[in-house]
Structures are given as C-alpha cells and as structure tokens.
Amino acid sequence: MHNNKSYKKILVVLDLCVIGLFVFHYFMLIDIKNKNEKLSVFLSDLSLQENIDDYTKTTNKIIENLSSDMDSVNNYIISNSGDVEFIESLESMADSNGLTIKISTLGFEEDVKLKPSNITILKMKADIEGSWKGMYMFLEQLESLPFKTKISQFNFTNSSGSFGSDVNKSNIRQWRGSFEIRVLKYK
C-alpha cells in the first residue's frame, strides 16, 4: 500500500507538471499570437508608410515637372504688363532688318474659350516697308517669337513710294507690306 500512495503522489506530481506545462504552453501560444498580430499590424503600417512615401516622391516629381511646364506656358503668354515690351521688341526686330514699321491698330479681343481664364488676345495690325530680304527675315523672326502668336495675314508688294523718312534714299527696290497678328496676353 505504501507503494500505492507513492504512485499516487508521483501521478499527482506528474499531473500537476503536465497541467503546468499545458498552462505554460497556453500562455506562450497566447503571447506568440499577440506578438504575431502586433508584427502583422507593424508590417502593414510599414507597407502603408512605404506606399505613402512612394506616392509622395512621385507626386513631388510630377509637381516639379509641372512647375517647369507651367513656367514654359507662362513664358508662352505675354505678361499683364508686357504689351509695351512686346511692341518694342517688334519695332526692334523691324529696325534690325532695315524695315520701317507703323502700327495702325492695337487692341484687345475676347475669345469665348478664354473667357473663364485671365487671358485675352492682343491684336495688332501694322505696316512695314523695306527690302525683300528684310521683309523675309522679319517674317521668319515673327514666326519664331517665343509667344503664342497667330499671324492672320502678311501681305507685301513691291512699291516705289515710302511712308518711312529715310528708307528710299538708296537705289534698293523697296517693298511695302502689312500684317496682322494675335498674341495671347494675361489680363
């Protein structure tokens, strides 16, 4: 009987050890599960942060590209106080090509498509006089202006008369012409 009691004690101790191991494993599994959930949340947050960083970098690159494009567009349109400078540049172009220029009309024209924006159209008609080469070079420079320019008409004819003061003093054949241009301008 004494053996029976010692077996019972051993079995109780072993049962308690097994139950203790089960309890220990149970708490370990719960701890591992909690750590896995926290790790999963952390990895998800990290992935989300990486996506946000990538999106931010891409957006910044797009903004940088757009800002240079916006600068190009802004340089394509005469500034709101740049009309006098534009006219002076046309007069300078004519003068550098040996032409005399007379601006006959200058005004602003509204366009339905441009109505919602702060852009208008500067419309100008002018007469020029000078050599054939000068006329040709002037037209070429007019077409290559850095602004959004539309040349509505450009006519020229050979003439012997002059509206410029010193243009016909030489024996070079003179040409007379007229042109009409429209240029985008900020209001």
Four-residue CA torsion sign, 11, 12, 18, 22: positive
CATH number for the segment(s) 83-186: 3.30.70.60
100 pLDDT exceeds 50? yes
* Look-up of token digits 């960083």: 53
> What is the DSSP code (8-state) at residue 78?
B
Q: In angstroms, rounded to a whole number, what is the distance separating the alpha carbons of residues 94 and 174?
A: 14
pTM of the model: 0.55
> pLDDT of 41-74, one tens digit each?
999 999 999 999 899 898 888 887 777 767 666 6
